[in-house]
Amino acid sequence: MKNYHPSTPSRRHLTVVTYSLLTKGARPLKGLSKRLKKHAGRNNQGRITVRHQGGGNKILYRLVDFKQDKFDIPAKLETLEYDPYRSAFIARVIFVDGERRYILAPQGLKIGDKIISSAEAPLVVGNRTQLKRIPVGTFVYNVEVIKGRGGKLVRSAGSSAQVLANENGYTQIQLPSKETRKIPWDNYASLGQLSNPEHNSITIGKAGRSRWLNIRPTVRGSAMNPRDHPYGGGEGRSKRGTKRPKTKWGKITGGHRTRNKKKWSNKFIIKRRK
């Protein structure tokens, strides 16, 4: 982490991740990036459905390969790069046939290292193989839920899931939320922990930096009038005034379970998160 001298009030607590590990001067490849249209939290009618979004810096979307389905062909790490659309760093790899792709970069992978996706891949960091081959206790990331659809679980900075057991065609893994779930053991996962583990220690430091990140100001409910929020009104700093925590529209939030009781994947959850 990089800390700044308190030359101004906003710099007093400002912290950023050091990008010393990233490749200097690396630009996103034209064929592996595109500009996404910004919607600023609006639906197809142009109405705001998600508040506090808008503005922000202009950014390019990198086409990251979550499937890594180029099997049995080794690839060499070319660059480590920053991706504005995700918290983890990404790596540009070049295969022996000359094709380049972006993948999620694990912690500890260096430029020049070789990786491979294979059912017989060596069990080293960065390689991708089937869950049934991965020893108990190993940490994995970018885990497939449905075979062939690419990794859907464990893709954010510094995160990893742990393999707990292999039995009856399923692998039991403990997710970062401490939920334990079964996944078909023919599905693929990458070995290791994702890069940029210090991401959750960042202090934004000033309002302007939030605006760069596409985040608009959020007004506290207790600062509103009674007609605008269940917490509004009162003289001075008053208590919440409602039995349970609620949204602006009166919907209960604290401790209220929102998961569908009939969701198809409920049968794969062995232990719910705390």
Q: Which residues span the domain enclosing 23?
A: 18-200
User: What is the rounded average pLDDT of the residues 20-32?
Assistant: 91
Q: Is the dihedral of CA 181, 182, 188, 193 positive or negative?
A: positive
Band of residue 257 on the pLDDT scale cut at 50, 70, 90: confident
User: What is the rounded average pLDDT of the residues 2-9?
Assistant: 90
- Which residues have CB under 8 Å from 111's CB, separation 6+? 23, 77, 78, 79, 80
Please tell me the predicted confidence (pLDDT) of residue 1.
Answer: 87
Q: Is residue 121 part of a domain?
A: yes
Q: Is residue 247 part of a domain?
A: no
Q: What distance in Å separates the CA atoms of residue 82 and residue 91, rounded to the nearest whole number?
A: 9
pLDDT tens sequence across 120-170: 999 999 999 999 999 999 999 999 999 999 999 999 999 999 999 999 999
Q: Is residue 268 part of a domain?
A: no
pTM of the model: 0.88
Q: Is residue 76 part of a domain?
A: yes
- CATH number for the domain spanning 154: value is 2.40.50.140
Query: Count of domains in the chain?
Result: 1
Q: Is residue 2 part of a domain?
A: no
Q: Is residue 223 part of a domain?
A: no
Please tell me the predicted confidence (pLDDT) of residue 254.
Answer: 87
Please tell me the predicted confidence (pLDDT) of residue 124.
Answer: 92
Chain-wide mean pLDDT for the chain? 93
pLDDT tens sequence across 62-85: 999 999 999 999 999 999 999 999
Q: Is residue 124 part of a domain?
A: yes
Q: Is residue 218 part of a domain?
A: no
